Structure 1
């Protein structure tokens, strides 16, 4: 009986199984950390150590968020911002096939790698006035900013994924008579999938930055404009409330991508 118990314990340790009725540490640890930070922050604010003119604390931020949620202002701004991010990011996904091609054919990589690195390291945010001059003050300039800032993480990570594909897999596929299209579909793309997802996750962060900066500089609607408008009126709680909306949205999008990665590439877990 003791031997059986020992075997059960050993198996449990090796498999890192979680007993039924217990929450996963991946969920409980972040919740505990965030709640602790918010509690300390709230206490410091209520004790008067924070100047509300310069900063704010959770209860005041939540009050501002509740107000602009009730009057529907946040949804109008979000709709505009999400259209700009969504369209620009969908166009930026063209970086996946381009990255697959550049990663696979070395001559293309040699030809375009310096250009890609130069554009990637260029502070695109500094070119925002130029985008507005080219594409106007409307939605198109924001879409192009999102596209330009988000395509390079996708493209570069896809290239890295292709280059890390094991040569033995490619040799095995060719030995079985696979053509180039089959090699891409059955070997290179599955092997690069985690890199592609990582590039998409990084691209989302840069897309959000591009959208906010463009709207702050030249827009009368959108979350970026709302942040600028609230800061100009020194409404610190409202300003941080809109920032919190962006943070929550970014976290949700990244969690959805994690779920997608687990679904389409379970062998990577």
Structure 2
């Protein structure tokens, strides 16, 4: 029964993308779309297969994944630690939160030229840009998660004479976990977005560079391959977090539709 429900869920989730691809291919076959600008899915799959065989796609994807995950880990860990600290201590909130909220409203595209001026076109500027984008979703949701923990639980923790460490591990983290995991999901998506910005502006490796290079040589199929790769990898990372949510939040008795 569980396997049947899983198959139905996968079928429903993939129905819209499959329908779009079918309609897209039919439109190309009927001449409704210019194949130079909108190559059909079959042609794009052919480009994808050729790039897999040549090793080109694997190489560029590996570079992009390392960049995205490095920046994500730095930003997410910093956001988690600072978010929990600001949520726990009112003085930390009054000192840090106004500045962080001000920086959060600055568009990443506005600071990208500064990152390039300060750190050049190397890996450091790209990873720091991704880290900055990944920081804010985790910070905001960690802060809100701590503040949404029931105050009565803290009263119980004081009665039981929990240390600060025990309060964090046994009260704060479990109570804030739904918000923290939401922040991680949002942070992952922002990390991929920042990766694209970083690689399009100046890189000689990565999927973003692959898209930029293909655009320059009118290899539209390769551009679509890059876009699909970002979409697929982004969905896979989001699914991994959702699996983590299902395991860590078993205790939640929330409405599931």
Question: For the superposition of Structure 1 and Structure 2, which TM-score range results when normalised by the shorter chain?
Answer: over 0.9
Task: Determine which of 64, 73, 89 is the counterpart of 2:72.
Answer: 89
**Which residue in the other structure is 2:22 paired with?**
39
**Which residue in the other structure is 2:84 paired with?**
100
- Aligned 8 A contact 1:65 1:242 in 2: no
Structure 1 residues 16-95: aligned runs within 5 Å: 18=1, 21=4, 23-92=6-75, 93-95=77-79
Task: Give 1:20 shift.
Answer: 6.8
Q: Which runs of 5+ in 1 are unaligned?
A: 1-17
Query: TM-score, normalised to structure 1's length?
Result: 0.88
Q: Does 1:139 align with 2:123?
A: yes
Pick which of 175-184 and 156-165 moved more.
175-184
| Distance in 2 between residues matched to 1:207 and 1:247, nearest whole Å | 13
Task: Give 1:55 shift.
Answer: 2.4
Q: Does 1:112 align with 2:109?
A: no
Q: Which runs of 5+ in 2 are unaligned?
A: none
| Distance in 1 between residues matched to 2:54 and 2:7, nearest whole Å | 37
What is the total number of aligned residue pairs between the two structures? 252
**Which residue in the other structure is 1:218 paired with?**
202
| Distance in 2 between residues matched to 1:34 and 1:53, nearest whole Å | 22
| Distance in 2 between residues matched to 1:201 and 1:116, nearest whole Å | 20
Q: Report Cα offsets for 1:162-194 as digits up to 9, x if no partner.
A: 111011111111122112221111001111111
| Distance in 2 between residues matched to 1:200 and 1:22, nearest whole Å | 27
**Which residue in the other structure is 1:188 paired with?**
172
Task: Give 1:23 shift.
Answer: 4.3
Pick which of 164-173 and 50-59 moved more.
50-59
| Distance in 1 between residues matched to 2:199 and 2:16, nearest whole Å | 32
SS of match in other structure, 2:161? coil
**Which residue in the other structure is 2:235 paired with?**
251
Q: Report Cα offsets for 1:77-127 as digits up to 9, x if no partner.
A: 112212211211111122111111101212221222221111111111222
SS of match in other structure, 1:266? coil
| Distance in 1 between residues matched to 2:79 and 2:161, nearest whole Å | 29
**Which residue in the other structure is 1:151 paired with?**
135
Structure number with larger C-alpha Rg: 1
SS of match in other structure, 2:37? coil
RMSD, matched Cα: 1.6
